Amino acid sequence: MSTPKLHTSIEYLKGVGPSRAEILQQELGIRTWKDMLYHFPFRYIDKTLVGSITDAVATGEPTQFKAIVTKMSVSKGRYKKRLNATLFDGKSTLTAVWFQGVKWVSEKLEVNKEYLFYGTVKKTKSGSSFAHPEFELYNPNALNDKRMEPVYSSTDLLTRMHLESKFKRRVIKQILSKIDSNDVVDPLGKYYTDYFKLIPHVKAVYYMHFPQSEEQLEQARARMIFEDLFFLQLGIVFNQTTRKQKLKGAIFESVGEKFMKYFDEKIPFELTGAQKRVMKEIRRDLGSGIQMNRLLQGDVGSGKTMVGLLTMLLAVDNGFQACMMAPTEILAHQHYISITEEMKGMGVNVGFLSGSIKGKKRKEILQLLKDGVIHILLGTHALIEDWVVFKNLGIAIIDEQHRFGVAQRAALWNKTSEVAPHILVMTATPIPRTLALTAYGDLDVSTIDELPPGRKPITTRHIYDTKRSDLNTFIETEIEKGRQIYIVYPLIEENDKLDLSNLEMGYERLLQRFPRPKFQISIVHGKLKASDKESEMQRFVRGETQIMLATTVIEVGVNVPNASVMVIENAERFGLSQLHQLRGRVGRGADKSFCILVSKYNLTANGKKRLKTMVRTQDGFEIAEVDLELRGPGNIEGTQQSGVVAMRVANILRDSEMLNYTRDHTVKILSEDPQLQLPKNAPLLHYLKTHNMISKNWGRIS
């Protein structure tokens, strides 16, 4: 949205030059006038306020004061020169030091002249230090228009090179004086600027840098936040609308015999209201003739697998095959066992495929799949390998989305030649609905926000690791009641040697406290062979061991109803959603269940909040909100691809109301004019095009 002028390099501006331009590019990615112009301040300071040296020393905050330079000297340190300047403000003295740009500063600064200094006095071992302050000659007349001086983010290098706020202000002022509204085209166009009662774009850019009042800044921010969110939504909704027009999907017309039979004869319970609602949403998609691309989010144990199974039966009833992928072999196999059992006498053939199925066995399964004999295939991501060919795959279900990359999902599209299979992604890491719509881009979102009735709450406690003997006593009483216990250690990849030795130490300690043969312990971690992992798991599943000691491999989906205690070691090292997932492993049987979070004594504020939240609530959505608050939206699954992190001023959490507002309006605009062909929409289309926001490949997901 800009003329060639805005694409000139900042190099040629006064006071910049090639080497500074390069540093700015390297440190902040700023190369052109445009980059510089959209590098907005993160706060503003009132520079009409002139404090004193005493203030600066007492507060330790960035302070401006007026002082005379009484003495200057350059001393040669062991490696480097440094410049000391003694400052006197009429009451106190303070020494300012420069280690970098000594020559530059000593040329600018003169003894006996009065300057405004701006900087932070830091406490050090030997007293205090006032290093690299900004300074300018004191001019009482210049003070008045400095009520809101912009402050820009900086880096160490930029600070050392004197390329911080003061420098940027000068550069940006130059750019602004050289351009007008013909150079910066309003991305929304006049029609929408008026319609949404916003100030013009260029004006907003100007006010972002140099507001004359709070009100101007407010108007500028409102405009920028609106733009960020509006275009984010416009891109998402545009692509979604187009995809729906272009991508045909198999039609599952009838609710057939198998679905009904399973429903009537096999399910021993009523679907929850949320499950019914979600089934309706899915059925609507599947009957529409358009390819479904849906995310199903719901807490651990909310009954997503049930919804997945019913959906697969719809496919089978309509003459299609279905597959469901799980992120681990253990979980995939557990699905296979339970679904095979459920399908007994139903005339539905269930198959299993994973990396460990090899040779003749694999060949046989592949043949049955190709011939259409296998109706439902369960497995790991082996399912998406090229050599897996279906006769007519109608739907692919991906369980526990967060372990599957976008590319892996996309690979499913090559599985059928005619129409793309429907896709249902299930995740137990729910995120707030508004954010989900944005973060998952062109996935539609269904939410199960209700647990099946009769779930007993899990009692969650946080203890310090100094209380280990109490914990062991508790574990022993639970084992005596016939219960089983999980004990989980964190596994963080960068540090997995240390983690493993933690686990091994924990194992030794447990063996001493819970000796064989009275007690039996399974141990499972990522370094074990798949077959060993499986057999250790199975010993626990069969109840032969009372304790399962594991790294986070058990995180996803294992179902052992008799396990009623989840102990999480080093709990402070887990993220909230992971803690919540782990806790979801217990509370599945009839018994009272417990989750014990064990941590060290010294916790960060963030760590404390996570553990507190876990103790306070069991609601996955509430936990997701706190998680989002603690980690910021940029770290949420999916958001990286969607541009949430690229926003200039908006913050998707803080501005969620505006997010909804812009979403509603983009939906309206695009339902009236799906391809943005109306004159008033021309600027919008232009924006999407010039920002590469139009998805070219309809064969790819999110």
* Smallest separation, CB 316 to ligand ADP (Å): 19
Decide: helix, strand or coil at residue 352. strand
* Residue 303, contacted partner among ligand ADP, Mg ion, none, CB below 5-8 A by kind: ligand ADP
Alpha-carbon distance of 427 to 122, in angstroms, equals 48
Could you identify the residue written with the tokens 């199975």? 538
Between 201 and 294, whose beta carbon lies closer to ligand ADP?
A: 294
When CB distances to ligand ADP are compared, the closest residue is 303
* Residue 302, contacted partner among Mg ion, ligand ADP, none, CB below 5-8 A by kind: ligand ADP
Between 300 and 313, whose beta carbon lies closer to ligand ADP?
A: 300
* Residue 193, contacted partner among ligand ADP, Mg ion, none, CB below 5-8 A by kind: none
Name the residue type at position 307. Answer: V
304 counts as binding ligand ADP under rule CB under 6 A:
yes
Residues of this chain that bind Mg ion (CB under 5 A) = 305
* Smallest separation, CB 522 to ligand ADP (Å): 22
Between 133 and 303, whose beta carbon lies closer to ligand ADP?
A: 303
Q: Pattern of binders to ligand ADP over 392-431, x per CB under 6 A?
A: ------------------------------------x---
* Smallest separation, CB 556 to ligand ADP (Å): 10
**Binder to ligand ADP among 194, 269, 675, 678 (CB under 6 A)?**
269
Residues 603/283, Cβ–Cβ less than 8 Å: no
Query: For ligand ADP, which stretch binds (CB under 6 A), given 200-208, 234-242, 267-275, 322-330?
Result: 267-275
* Residue 275, contacted partner among ligand ADP, Mg ion, none, CB below 5-8 A by kind: ligand ADP
Ramachandran angles phi, psi of 363, nearest 5°: -55, -45
Query: For ligand ADP, which stretch binds (CB under 6 A), given 88-96, 193-201, 271-279, 509-517?
Result: 271-279
Residues 409/637, Cβ–Cβ less than 8 Å: no
Between 282 and 688, whose beta carbon lies closer to ligand ADP?
A: 282
Beta bridge partners of 379: 325, 353
* Residue 427, contacted partner among Mg ion, ligand ADP, none, CB below 5-8 A by kind: none
662 counts as binding ligand ADP under rule CB under 6 A:
no
**Binder to ligand ADP among 57, 143, 271, 410 (CB under 6 A)?**
271
306 counts as binding ligand ADP under rule CB under 6 A:
yes
294 counts as binding ligand ADP under rule CB under 6 A:
no
* Smallest separation, CB 483 to ligand ADP (Å): 18
452 counts as binding ligand ADP under rule CB under 6 A:
yes
Alpha-carbon distance of 500 to 550, in angstroms, equals 10
Between 183 and 399, whose beta carbon lies closer to Mg ion?
A: 399
Residues in contact with 549: Cβ distance below 8 Å, sequence separation at least 6, in sequence order? 487, 489, 503, 506, 507, 510, 521, 522, 523, 524
* Smallest separation, CB 451 to ligand ADP (Å): 8
**Binder to ligand ADP among 302, 416, 446, 578 (CB under 6 A)?**
302
**Binder to ligand ADP among 52, 100, 272, 593 (CB under 6 A)?**
272
**Per-residue tokens: 566:** 């989840």
Alpha-carbon distance of 412 to 419, in angstroms, equals 12
Beta bridge partners of 45: 149
Q: Report the relative pairing of strands 458-464 and 444-448 from DSSP bridges.
A: unpaired
Residues written for the chain: 702
**Binder to ligand ADP among 220, 278, 286, 300 (CB under 6 A)?**
300
* Smallest separation, CB 557 to ligand ADP (Å): 7
Alpha-carbon distance of 226 to 202, in angstroms, equals 14
Between 275 and 618, whose beta carbon lies closer to ligand ADP?
A: 275
Residues in contact with 397: Cβ distance below 8 Å, sequence separation at least 6, in sequence order? 308, 311, 312, 322, 323, 324, 325, 423, 424, 425, 426
Between 234 and 448, whose beta carbon lies closer to ligand ADP?
A: 448
298 counts as binding ligand ADP under rule CB under 6 A:
yes
* Smallest separation, CB 339 to Mg ion (Å): 12
* Residue 12, contacted partner among ligand ADP, Mg ion, none, CB below 5-8 A by kind: none
Between 88 and 621, whose beta carbon lies closer to ligand ADP?
A: 621
* Smallest separation, CB 305 to Mg ion (Å): 4
Between 304 and 409, whose beta carbon lies closer to ligand ADP?
A: 304
Between 429 and 599, whose beta carbon lies closer to ligand ADP?
A: 429
Q: From the CB of residue 12, how many other CB atoms can be counted at a distance below 10 Å?
A: 11
Residues in contact with 189: Cβ distance below 8 Å, sequence separation at least 6, in sequence order? 680, 682, 683, 684
Decide: helix, strand or coil at residue 120. coil
Residues 21/10, Cβ–Cβ less than 8 Å: yes
| Alpha-helical runs (H) found in 321-421 | 329-342, 359-370, 406-411
Query: For ligand ADP, which stretch binds (CB under 6 A), given 116-124, 128-136, 270-278, 661-669?
Result: 270-278
* Residue 300, contacted partner among Mg ion, ligand ADP, none, CB below 5-8 A by kind: ligand ADP
* Residue 306, contacted partner among ligand ADP, Mg ion, none, CB below 5-8 A by kind: ligand ADP
Residues in contact with 697: Cβ distance below 8 Å, sequence separation at least 6, in sequence order? none
**Binder to ligand ADP among 216, 219, 297, 305 (CB under 6 A)?**
305
Query: For ligand ADP, which stretch binds (CB under 6 A), given 196-204, 269-277, 359-367, 534-542?
Result: 269-277
Decide: helix, strand or coil at residue 110. coil
Alpha-carbon distance of 23 to 32, in angstroms, equals 13
* Smallest separation, CB 456 to ligand ADP (Å): 13
Beta bridge partners of 547: 485, 521
Alpha-carbon distance of 443 to 244, in angstroms, equals 11
Alpha-carbon distance of 309 to 85, in angstroms, equals 76
| Alpha-helical runs (H) found in 542-681 | 576-583, 605-616, 620-631, 639-642, 656-672
Count residues near ligand ADP (CB under 6 A): 15
For 110-137, letters b (16+ CB in 10 Å) and e give eeeeebbbbbebeeeeeeebbbbbbbee
Query: For ligand ADP, which stretch binds (CB under 6 A), given 87-95, 264-272, 384-392, 630-638?
Result: 264-272
Decide: helix, strand or coil at residue 254. coil
Between 334 and 546, whose beta carbon lies closer to ligand ADP?
A: 334
* Smallest separation, CB 299 to Mg ion (Å): 10
* Smallest separation, CB 297 to ligand ADP (Å): 10
* Residue 372, contacted partner among Mg ion, ligand ADP, none, CB below 5-8 A by kind: none
* DSSP class per residue in 457-493: PEEEEEEEGGGHHHHHHHHHHHHHTT-EEEEE----G
Instruction: Report CA-CA distances (Å) from 251 to 318, 320, 419.
Output: 8, 10, 10
DSSP state of 178: H
* Smallest separation, CB 428 to Mg ion (Å): 6
List residues binding ligand ADP (CB under 6 A).
269-272, 275, 298, 300-306, 428, 452
